[in-house]
Amino acid sequence: MTPSPKRPAAVVLAIGAAIAIVTTSATPARADGAANDGPRAVSWTIRTMGTYGRVTIVTADSAAAAPIALTALGALARVDSLMSNWTTTSEVARINRAAGQQTTTVEPEVATVIDAALRVWRASDGAFDITVEPLIRLWGFIGGPKRVPGDDEIAVTLRRVGAARVRFDPRARTIAFADSTVRIDLGGIAKGYAVDVAADSLRAHGVRDGLVDLSGNMAAIGHPPGADHWRIGIREPRGRMPYFARLAVHDAISTSGQYEQFVAANGRTYGHIMDPRTGRPADGLLAVTLVSPTAFECDTWDTPLFVLGPAAARRKAREHPELAPVLVVPGAAGVDTVWVASSLRDRFALEPAAESLFVVRWF
């Protein structure tokens, strides 16, 4: 009996890794040595939202696909122009200047994101809060320098934090703050929204196979050449290897971890993900990777799951079956525990090199 031909390996992209260059997959060779003009994965990259965004299209004609990719990248840039907290010209910057003085009307896309953020604030018992911006600045993760503030400073800043201080009317698209000290930051949710907008742009232009990636917030369309799905590598949070596991993805995925922005002091490391209820960085998990139908939903929930910690995150995921998380819990003697949603049982695989460093448990 003649064995069936082995399918080529799927494209592997590491979640959370910055994308520094434009890459184009090599054209596979034919058996007779001639060039193969079949579809290949071609990528275009842009610097946006404080990181790199990448659009990948599976195509046999990269010249024809380029305008489609550039339109999708333009969608990322448009969301950045609306929701960035790093500029003084964005819609969010304007809201932060105006809403503490008077009620102001919000641009439709920004209103959509604020509405979702406030719903998750309520659903996560306050673990996700878009008014956390003063705390992020206090710790130096916006504006710098990074530092560990004193207890008194944290207590004073916490008085400025709390989504209950935001009065938002989603129908009228109006917003007002309780006072001029309130600030909002959509950085924990806007990337997922931008990825979905870019993916919708690709679909609207007839793309059947592609991938949008914005610093680990990804939306998959179809599959790469020669494979049934996109295969995504999950970054190893301690840096012992590039990625410790792989996930087969045909929907959306995101990650939340403390390994890219942190401050080291007093013999410990403080990450940038704040628990808005305490004013201090969350520390119960090393990383959260979340699979869900949309990138917006992933990005909306990965941060609150991280803040909630291992047990509460599992409970919250059970309440929301559309959320399928991978939770990395720090362990003793260099062996960490990975809690994986049972719905991912056929899609999750631990790398052989990581088997001595992780224990996998299902829930």
pLDDT of residue 228: 93
Q: Among residues of the chain, what percentage have pLDDT more than 70?
A: 89
Q: Look at residue 113 and tell me if it is in a domain.
A: yes
**Model confidence pLDDT, tens digit, residues 87-100:** 899 999 999 999 99
Range of the domain at 128: 91-177
What is the identity of the amino acid at 339?
Answer: W
Structure tokens at 298: 């992933």
pLDDT of residue 260: 65
Q: Look at residue 126 and tell me if it is in a domain.
A: yes
pLDDT of residue 232 exceeding 90, the answer is yes
Q: Look at residue 59 and tell me if it is in a domain.
A: no
pLDDT band at 164 (very low <50, low <70, confident <90, very high): very high
Q: Look at residue 30 and tell me if it is in a domain.
A: no
Q: What is the mean pLDDT of residues 152-156?
A: 97
Q: The domain that contains 139 carries what CATH number?
A: 1.10.3980.10
Q: What is the mean pLDDT of residues 46-75?
A: 96
pLDDT of residue 12 exceeding 60, the answer is no
Provide the mean pLDDT of the chain: 89
Q: Look at residue 43 and tell me if it is in a domain.
A: no
Q: Look at residue 137 and tell me if it is in a domain.
A: yes
Q: Look at residue 116 and tell me if it is in a domain.
A: yes
pLDDT of residue 17 exceeding 50, the answer is no
pLDDT of residue 252: 98
pLDDT band at 36 (very low <50, low <70, confident <90, very high): low
Number of domains in the chain: 1
